[in-house]
Amino acid sequence: MNTVPDIAVVILTFRQKEQTLRCLRHLLQQRDRQTAFNVFLWDNGSGDDTAAAVVDEFPDVMVHVSPANLGVAGGRNAAATEAIRAWNPLYLLFLDNDMVVQPGFVSGLAKPLVQAGDGRVGQTQAKLRLADEPERLNDGGGCRIQFWLGRTRPVGFGEVDRGQYDIPKPCVSCGGAMMVRTDLFQELGGFDEQFNPFGPEDLDFSLRLNEAGWESWYAPTAVAVHDVNHTFGGGDYSEEYATHRSRHWLRLMRRHAGIMDWLGFVLVGAPIIFGRVLIRELGKGNLGAIRGLVRGTLKRGDK
């Protein structure tokens, strides 16, 4: 009987106890002789009883409570380091705690990696549906990046899932439901923590993986339902949020965009973005968002 090699599932949580417990309840139903995996939960400085609740209900889940919030990239990297030290898995599965996985999720992500053997498949990406409208897609094949418009959008977002995205294919993977070879994750240095406290460290990682000669594949048999109704800062377009968002986008462009992408962004994308934010946030009296957008744009970052 063929078995799926050992996998470490890495889950990050921050003040979302009920979502985390729900995620674990569905995930752990998939563990059997054919799908062997361990789970490492990193509490990213929640300061609540999430970790205690997880330990109480799932004593075999390894839990670490960080005294501080290390950001998404920092928390994922720290958790992956501990999981590798504990189990030395062949694969790492990074799973957001707001996912509800469907039957066959873990094995579906592992299958392309196992079948590739020593081939060039280094990462896999799940199909995601929206929690509020589960008949509709959140992600049907990774992320489309339009540098010239300053926009990223999951493939098929909002479309009714009629099976139109059920063919495996190469993609740019998002980090909320993806699996990667452990040795490759270490070789690439994990997620870049310069993208802390939030994104797009996942897109940067997948692009670096592609640029290193590896492939990321969309695995449509791995399905999860995603609760997308929360954002950094509680959903407010704050000065801090605007600063990080604009700075991180320019960092992503410096690394991965071409000359024509830059030309289009300067002439088209940037004016559209600034105009939209200006009109929307000034109407709310939110001057901080404008300051943040300018600060993030002017502040120098890495190349």
The residue extents of the domains of the chain are: 4-230, 237-298
**What integer pLDDT is reported at residue 243 of this predicted model?**
87
Q: What percent of the chain has pLDDT over 90?
A: 76
* pLDDT interval class at 229 (50, 70, 90): low
Distance CA 172, CA 170 (A): 7
Q: Please, what is the end-to-end C-alpha distance for the chain in angstroms?
A: 48
DSSP bridge partners of 7: 37, 91
Q: What is the mean pLDDT of residues 221-228?
A: 94
Q: What percent of the chain has pLDDT over 70?
A: 94
* pLDDT interval class at 1 (50, 70, 90): very low
Residue scoring higher pLDDT (15 or 278): 15
Q: Does residue 232 surpass a pLDDT of 50?
A: no
**What integer pLDDT is reported at residue 297 of this predicted model?**
80
Q: Does residue 137 surpass a pLDDT of 60?
A: yes
3-state secondary structure of 181: strand
**What integer pLDDT is reported at residue 199 of this predicted model?**
84
Extended strands (E) in 102-158: 121-130, 137-139, 143-146, 151-154
- Return the minimum-mean-pLDDT range out of 1-10, 46-55, 222-231, 236-245: 1-10
Q: Does residue 301 surpass a pLDDT of 60?
A: no
**What integer pLDDT is reported at residue 47 of this predicted model?**
92
* pLDDT interval class at 40 (50, 70, 90): very high
Helix (H) or strand (E) run with residue 37 in it: strand 35-43
Give per-residue pLDDT as tens, 233-260.
Answer: 445 678 888 888 899 999 999 999 999 9
DSSP 217-263: EEEEEEEEEE-----GGGG---HHHHHHHHHHHHHHHHHH--HHHHH
Pick among 3.30.710.10, 3.90.550.10, 3.40.190.80, 3.40.190.10: CATH of 4-230 = 3.90.550.10
Residue among 100, 130, 126 nearest 28 (CA): 100
In 10 A of CB 303, how many CB atoms? 6
* pLDDT interval class at 293 (50, 70, 90): confident
- Return the minimum-mean-pLDDT range out of 30-39, 199-208, 215-224: 30-39
**What integer pLDDT is reported at residue 254 of this predicted model?**
96
pTM: 0.92
